[in-house]
Structure 1
Amino acid sequence: MRKLLYIFTCLLLSYKAIAGELNSPNGNFKLKFSLENGKPTYQLDYKNQAIILPSTLGFELVKAQDLLDNFELIAENTDSFDESWKPVWGERSEIRNQYNELLVALNQKGTERKINIRFRLFDDGLGFRYEFPQQDNLQYFVIQSENTQFAMAGDHTAFWIPGDFDTQEYNYNKSRLSEIRSLMQEAITPNASQTQFSPTGVQTSLMMKTDNNLYINLHEAALIDYSCMHLELDDVNFIFQSHLTPDVLGHMAYMQAPTQSPWRTVIASDQAADILQSTLTLNLNEPCAYEDTEWIKPVKYIGVWWEMISGMSSWAYTDLPAVKLGETDYNKTEPNGTHGATNENVRRYIDFAAEHGFDQVLVEGWNEGWEDWFGKSKDYVFDFLTPYPDFDVEALNEYAHSKGVKLMMHHETSGSTRNYERHMDQAYQFMVDHGYNAVKSGYVGNMIPRGETHYGQWMVNHYQYALTKAADYKIMVNAHEAVRPTGLSRTYPNLVGNESARGTEYESFGGNNPDHTTILPFTRLIGGPMDYTPGIFETDISQYNPNNTSYVRSTLARQLALYVTMYSPLQMAADLPQTYEKYMDAFQFIKDVPVDWQETVILEAEPGDYITYARKDKASENWFVGRTNDEEARTSKINFHFLTPGKKYIATVYADQKDAHYKDNPKAYQIKQYQVNSKSKLNQYCAPGGGYAISIMEVTDTSTLKGLKKL
């Protein structure tokens, strides 16, 4: 009897190993886990259509037997979870976190090493990660390769940028998976620091669309103490495999059990809008790490920045060929006459911010060392403390605070992260002492320590250190050129912004594709908000710098829309005050639009073509709509069902004129007002590279509606 029971138990375990299944709470997704000849394998379906075909899991290790096969199932547990939580800031005031979970515990026969794989299936997709429990046979280990596969069910259309260990600052490409190899060389455009790894390597977040009109997104969540994941495509079988960012030795990650990998994520739907509405990435991160979050506030700011980006002014105080920090007496050097961060110029920005209700003023180029900061592989570049002679830190901060405005700090590391960590405590204390509460940090150029890259484990740990150290001083962080976000803003909400993609600055460096902002919300913004720096009204850069013939590939109306479509709790009005003063009627939208939201609704969406968002202000009953359009003229058709029934509103529509065009006539805009309610509808023309923005204000005095056309 005992022998028969033993045989039955073995058969049962074998059955579980090949038939572990999990459904999402709404039943649309189905996950299957199996051990195929000892190899961990999973697959994912959505409404009975294959999203991920059978795909293997595991690791190759350095100087140790690989964790790829010969596994046996020793335990299998399922669980369910359902809660709601309130983000400190975000696209909605409350987020539901509901999933079903499958945990499989595996033992590798012969080595007796154990690994768990945890799957969480949400109504918007799948997250899974590897977990390494405390054990005698696997303590310290080095990963040579993570062999996580994502086997696609066909030659999907993809929106992709080249796989690169140092930059995400590329224009997006739209192509079949089978075409990536032939397009890769053309897709790689110059950057200050870049390291590609494969002719079929691409970056996450990767957006795809199938011939059956399914939308699929691959990314990762909770990237901590691990290297950033890219995807390498087998373009014959359409199988992606994870490709981690290596260190200088070619090793991918250094691990000590107990530990775990980041989550690997698959978001999918038959509606493009569902990808944009997904909260899966945030939900896979841990709850807020801070008890006190009152010091973390969304920010709308202007800054001494675009005039430098355009070449109108400079970061550097002098034109010295070389400087040595601490040994150059700037008081005895001749100013170059183009320095932007001067007392007089900064006061002008402060006055403009105070007059129009902006929270902060960013000032770049305020500190010594900019004369030869880039490309010299200098370890000791900036001290983040010493201002140029024409920038009076105390006086300017006192002037700003007297007008209800704060200055925003700028820390450019020039890639020398060792130097930044050397000065970090002093630099943050300097901010506290002078009334700064937010910093824009930058990582332009190749990394020091030399041989490291922007997205390796070493740098991931540095960004995390800078963020948590900033929290010790109650400082918010906006990190540029850092690793792409993976939802960590839930846990560390002082991470109020990132760049980590090709932003508005590239409009001055040759331009972004007109469809760029119709793709970014499906890709880069899946992991968190972006400091895109919109609001450029003067699209002809030569008006600021005659030697720069670039132009912004957007109409003025779409620049307004980006404040709604490119979500961030940190929004910049990036153009110059004197330009905004010429277009104060359009500038009114930038003044009105909030940076923190109670609710978000997607009205129209198709990656690479158009996106229309509606968002409700967190502090009022007002709504704001934004539409960003690609290079084709289109008519947007929306209704106002999101408004509260029975209430009346005034809608101010900032839109393209019929003859507007991002290239030939970008400033052709019109402003119209209507009275609207929840039953109203709007058909609105969108020019090539255009769009529109709408502010929808609740009306309590109906007399204000007199004379306004009803929609």
Structure 2
Amino acid sequence: MKKLISILWLSACTLFCAYAQTRFPVNSPDGSISLILKLKDRELYYEVEKNGTAVLAEAPVRMTVDEAELCRSLEVLSADGYQTDNAYPIRGSHSRATDKGNGQLLKLRNTQLKVDFSIEARAYDDGIAFRMQLPGRKGEVRTPDEHTVFTLPAGSQVWYHDIYCYYEGIHLKKEVSEIRQGEWAAPPVTVQLPGDAGYLCLSEAALMNYAGMSLQANGKNGFETKLGHAQPAGYPFAHDYSLAEAQRLSQPAALESTITTPWRAVIIADDLNELVNSDLITNLSPAPDKRLFPKGVNTDWIKPGRSVWCWLDGGARTVEGMKEFSKLAGELGFEYNTVDAFWYRWTDEQLKDLVDYSAQYGVKIWLWRHGRDMRDPQKRKELFARCRRLGIAGLKLDAFSHESKEFIDLYQACLKEAAEHKLMLNIHGSNKPAGEVRTWPNEMSREGIRGLEYGKNQYEWSMHNTTLPFTRLVVGAGDYTPVVFGERRLETSWVHQVATALVFNSSVIFFGSHPKTMLDNPAVQLLKQIPATWDETVVLPSSRIGEVAAFARRSGKTWFLAVLNGQEERSLQFPLSFLGDGWYEGMVLNDRPADAAAIKTERVFCRKSDALTGHMRAGGGYIVMFTPQE
């Protein structure tokens, strides 16, 4: 009996000691990264280390519910660890993602509010994430808000843009101490750590049933999380909706039953190759519904590809004009033709005529539609049913322009109902991606990026284009509307323009050029063979954010070397170690030094032991397509 009492007493002491601890580390599988949750004076904090060095300094986790602070007066109820270990097909920088991480669920009680909740934390070899969950009963309505802080090491360099153009800004580069209190940053925010210690990328994942997250500088080397209602309403929203709508949406959203925040995610990478190839955002996102997507991203009606579009570079906005576009798309080998808003005036018979005519050339039709028309559930379902009946492949939905919960719910409803009608979507006027490509594989692209739709005389495209692959495009596809050969390209060369279609991810590439212009361009043979998806990506060591983006990408057995050059003329040598064994024939596209609107083409034969040198003008580029020789 005494022995039994001793055992019970020892177990009770062990349990008490476990829950009395104040530090709860979660380590990545390789042991390099550690996310440490901690209680200080019964308040919740966290910090992140890599190889024993802080990459995010100690900072508070802050969440309010009905304006009452949740993360104070805390006691620990339990701490349970777990692991994730699986792989899945994906679209982006590669075709297969690996989800291997360690997690911990920490259950807490706010003794003052008498409320129980949990924080779930994960550590992967490429980053960390955490989210909050507040259990609730059916019918129980509460209003959450957040003020968690990300504190960067002194000396960090930060690339970010403000929120006023709603995810379509130009990235600034600043040393973190120069970022003033109150400045807004639209995630993802990319950080180069001091001392060549690598990179961070701050964003979110699994955004649903909740408002989107933006960041606001605190003037102390940190950014504080802000939800959609707190963001300033930019010009795009006021233009497409109204200031009255913006005022209404500036109130925090009430949620029913259990509240689960999106993951607050931080990619942690040694170099730009690891940054671009991170699977963190999709690993944190729910797997697709097998009823809607029986083969995930490879479900049979989901077809990546290339599309022509008449909006940027002209074209007759008539049925006959769009028939001509479909015919030219077929000559390019493109799979789609996107028809802009002028189709609103057409009858079903005219749309079906275009669909049937286009099919003769292996081309399917996408249609543009304003986001205002998506807000009425009945009208939305009628539109989706009409498109399915007429054989439309997808819809380009535009002008969402707000991250309130109401608009996040609208994204989710559109994606779900479109999937039920076997329709693909491209969402414009949008926020940043948050893993939708995994959860909703019918989302083929989204804007949330400043692309070539913008005007002709605003800034240097070449600096912007060499920044985007390491900022916005790290977290998902971006519909930049690449490749124009006219004035809109400003200082960039034709080769630079073609390279954007290879470097910027988009599962359907919506080209900006008139298809006849592409057919007449010296790069036409390469344009016809640009893939929309990739099996493998290698970011080459010569890459520098805002200066050079040098990517080697593989589709099947064919490799592409695509280089975007910034504002200075330069020559760079590119070792071909990424190639497989054997000989390859290379189709080379070079800048012509004296003329940005020209391309010099060459042919080379090479192996992976070789290196090629690209001579690039300011705003130029360099491209090689490598075809294996059997």
- 2:250 and 2:407 map into 1 onto residues whose CA distance is 15
Cα distance between partner residues in 1 of 2:365 and 2:459: 29
- Is 1:499 matched with 2:475? no
The 1:69–1:556 alpha-carbon spacing in structure 2 relative to 1, beyond 3 Å, is same
1:589 aligns with 2:526: yes
Contact 1:621–1:698 (CA under 8 A) maintained in structure 2: yes
Q: Which residue in 2 is equivalent to 1:431?
A: 387
The answer for the alignment partner of 1:657 in structure 2 is 592
For structure 1, the 5+ residue unaligned runs are 182-197, 314-339, 369-385, 445-452, 542-550, 660-664, 701-711
Are the equivalent residues in 1 in contact too, given 2:93–2:534 (CA < 8 A)?
Answer: yes
1:74-89 matches, cutoff 5 A? 74-87=77-90, 89=91
Matches within 5 A, 1:19-58: 19-58=23-62
Q: What is the aligned partner in structure 2 of residue 561 from structure 1?
A: 499
- Given residue 387 of structure 1, which amino acid in structure 2 is its aligned partner? W
Which of 372, 383, 397 is the matching residue for 2:355?
397
**1:490 match: secondary structure:** helix
Aligned to 2:160: 160
CA distance in 1, matches of 2:396, 2:250: 31
Query: Are the aligned partners of 1:29 and 1:46 in contact in 2 as well (CA < 8 Å)?
Result: yes
- Match of 1:404, SS state, is coil
Whole-Å separation in 2 of the counterparts to 1:555 and 1:99: 43
**Residue deviations 1:444-503 (CA, integer Å, cap 9, x gap):** 7xxxxxxxx611110010011111110011000001002221111101100000011111
Question: Which deviations, in whole Å up to 9, do the C-alpha atoms of 1:510-561 show, x marking residues without a partner?
Answer: 45532112221222122211111112122x25xxxxxxxxx53421101111
- Equivalent of 1:409, from 342, 350, 367? 367
Aligned to 2:174: 175
**Aligned partners of 1:569, 1:7: CA distance in 2, in Å?**
56
Deviations 1:194-217 (A, max 9, x none): xxxx84121110011132123111
**Does the residue aligned with 1:224 lie in a helix, a strand or coil?**
coil
State the partner residue of 1:210: 193
> In the aligned structure 2, how far is the partner of 1:149 from the partner of 1:511?
32
Give the superposition deviation at 1:172. Answer: 1.3
Structure 2, gaps ≥5 residues long: 230-246
Percent of pairs with identical residues:
25
Structure 1 residue 175: Cα displacement:
1.4
**Distance apart, 1:115 and its partner CA:** 1.3
Give the structure 2 partner of residue 100 of structure 1. Answer: 102
In structure 2, the residue matched to 1:65 is 68
Name the SS of the counterpart of 1:281 in structure 2.
helix
In structure 2, the partner of 1:307 is 313
Which residue is equivalent to 1:371?
none
Q: Distance in 1 between matches of 2:185 and 2:471?
A: 12
Q: Secondary structure of the equivalent of 1:482?
A: coil
SS of 1:74's equivalent in the other structure is: strand
> Whole-Å Cα distance in 1 between the matches of residues 389 and 26 of structure 2?
54
- C-alpha distance 240-510 of structure 1, shift in aligned 2 (>3 A): closer
Work out the CA distance in 2 between the residues paired with 1:285 and 1:681: 39
Counterpart of 1:239 (choices 193, 198, 222) is 222
Pairing of 1:286-301 with structure 2 (within 5 A): 286-289=286-289, 290-291=293-294, 293-301=299-307
Give 2:125's match in structure 1, choosing from 120, 123, 126.
Answer: 123
| SS state at 2:200 partner | strand
In structure 2, the partner of 1:282 is 282
Distance 2:398 2:457 in 1: 18
1:346–1:7 Cα change, 3 Å: closer
1:190 aligns with none
Cα distance in 1, alignment partners of residues 382 and 414 from structure 2: 13
Q: Is 1:12 aligned with 2:17?
A: yes
Residue 607 (1) aligns with residue 545 (2):
yes
The question of 1:627 aligning with 2:563 is answered: yes
Residues 347 and 367 of structure 1: CA distance in aligned 2, closer, same or farther (over 3 Å) = closer
Q: State the 1:249 CA deviation.
A: 6.1
- Cα deviation, 1:551-598, whole Å, max 9, x if unaligned, reads 534211011111221011111332113322432x31211111111222
How many angstroms does 1:417 deviate by? 4.3
**Within 1, Cα distance between the matches of 2:223 and 2:215?**
6
Distance 2:475 2:269 in 1: 18
* TM-score, length-scaled by structure 2: 0.90
- Contact 1:563–1:626 under 8 Å retained in 2: no
Instruction: Output the CA distance in 1 between the equivalents of 2:615 and 2:476.
Output: 30
Instruction: Measure the CA separation in 2 of the matches of 1:418 and 1:562.
Output: 34
Give me the whole-angstrom Cα distance separating, in 2, the residues matched to 1:565 and 1:680: 22
Cα 1:397/1:6, change in 2 over 3 Å: closer
Residue of 583, 597, 601 corresponding to 1:648:
583
Q: Distance in 2 between matches of 1:636 and 1:575?
A: 29
Alignment match of 2:511 (pick from 565, 573, 577): 573
Instruction: Label 1:170 to 1:107 Cα distance change in 2 as closer, same or farther (>3 A).
Output: same
Partner AA of 2:322 in structure 1:
V
In 1, Cα distance between equivalents of 2:328 and 2:461 = 31
2:208 maps to 224
Alpha-carbon distance in 1 for matches of 2:357, 2:131: 51
Equivalences for 1:686-705 in 2 at 5 Å? 686-700=616-630
TM-score normalised by L of structure 1:
0.80
Distance 1:253 1:635, change over 3 A: farther
In structure 2, give the amino acid aligned to 1:261: T
Letter in 2 for 1:671: T
Q: Tell me whether 509-518 or 112-121 shows the greater mean CA deviation.
A: 509-518
Equivalent residue letter for 2:478 = M
